[in-house]
Amino acid sequence: MQRILILHTGGTIAMAENESGALTPGAANPLMAYNNLFQGKYNLTVEEAFNLPSPHMTPTEMLQLKDRIVAAEKDGIDGVVITHGTDTLEETAYFLDLTLPPLIPVVITGAMRSSDEIGSDGLYNLTSALKTAASPGARGKGVLVVMNDEVHSARFVTKTHTTNVATFRTPTFGPIGIMEKDGAKFFQELTNQSLCKIDHVIDQVYLLKAYAGMDGTLFAALDRPETNGLVIEGTGAGNLPPQTLPAIEKLLARHIPIVLVSRCFNGVAEPVYGYEGGGQQLAKMGLIFCQGLNGQKARIKLLVALSSGKTGTELATYMRDAIS
């Protein structure tokens, strides 16, 4: 019988409606009532790491989860399941994917419907996550996200709908597996998984989204000594309005790393256009093009890289290698 560690962190999967109909965290996690349902199938250790709505999650809590999983692996745990709120689930999943060795299965799941709502998906998703964590094929795949009968890589999965139970999708590449009755079946896998060791996390790493008519105002607000890094979701293949360039040049003069991704739902950022503010000019200025990640994922990766001490060419190479 496999030893599985379940770490509950809160979120909709652990919430119920209050008297006014609003979803709120309760004093007790309703999923704890189902522990006996799984004890005959797995040797479970169940812990409530946090009871936080997912917008309350920070890299500090993500680091605590990483450290707990490392300790559990040393103790002989065969797999880990994390329940999490869906709003920032993809960021926690990717943080762990970057900072954990891809050995034992680590599976994150959540719910789009609260525990007391008709058609609640929490218990079903938890069951699927446990099956995945116990699947031999899940070893060495990095951190996985299991929701709605699909298995996704933490690297590229994202929340695409505010309420639909099929909200988690992997644009461009698709899921790497599906759920069957007895476990997860995989038909894709990632290459070039690498571990970035960190023992602390820095802050003051920001994310901005480009828009028509954008000027340098927001960039100027970040022109301060405390700023450690910036990710920009550029338009199209990776372009910016020309009015932003003077303020961006000042940030670069401070040696603040700036990473560029696309605000598009599919595709990758690449320096194609030669006009003012186009990708070719931005690349020559020193912006780092990060392919395949959305803005929030690129911010997590930049934060992890800076926390590990990466700078200069090493940092740029690490940030570019999202796909390969």
Q: Which two tokens stand for residue 103?
A: 């050995």
Residue 251 to residue 315: CA distance in whole angstroms: 17
Q: Which residues are catalytic?
A: 12, 86
Q: Which residue has the tokens 């186009």?
A: 278
- Residue 153, annotated ligand binder? no
- Residue 45, annotated ligand binder? no
Residue 48 to residue 38: CA distance in whole angstroms: 17
Please tell us whether the domain made up of 1-184 is placed in CATH 3.40.50.1170: yes
Quote the pLDDT of residue 17. 86
- Residue 215, annotated ligand binder? no
Quote the pLDDT of residue 33. 85
Cβ–Cβ contacts within 10 Å for residue 244, how many? 22
**Mean pLDDT along residues 7-17:** 93
Q: Which amino acid is at 300?
A: I
Dihedral sign for Cα 315, 231, 277, 235, please.
Answer: positive
Quote the pLDDT of residue 324. 47
Phi then psi for 287, rounded to 5 degrees?
A: -70, 140
Quote the pLDDT of residue 192. 67
- Fold that domain 203-317 belongs to in CATH: Rossmann fold (3.40.50)
Higher pLDDT pick, 26 / 249 = 249
Quick one: pLDDT band at residue 322, thresholds 50, 70, 90? low
Quick one: pLDDT band at residue 29, thresholds 50, 70, 90? confident
Q: Which residue has the tokens 């938890």?
A: 126
Residue 108 to residue 141: CA distance in whole angstroms: 13
Please state whether the predicted TM-score (pTM) of the whole model is above 0.75: yes
Q: Are 128 and 146 in contact, with CB atoms under 8 Å apart?
A: yes
Closest CA relative to residue 208, chosen from 195, 221, 199: 221
Structural domain boundaries in the chain: 1-184, 203-317
Q: Is residue 215 predicted with pLDDT exceeding 60? A: yes
pLDDT digits (tens, 9 = 90+) for 158-186: 999 999 999 999 988 899 999 998 899 99
Q: Please indicate whether the domains covering 1-184 and 203-317 agree at the CATH topology level.
A: yes
Instruction: Give the DSSP per-residue string, 161-189.
Output: -SS-TT-EE-TTT--SEEEETTEEEE---
pLDDT digits (tens, 9 = 90+) for 186-202: 998 776 677 999 999 99
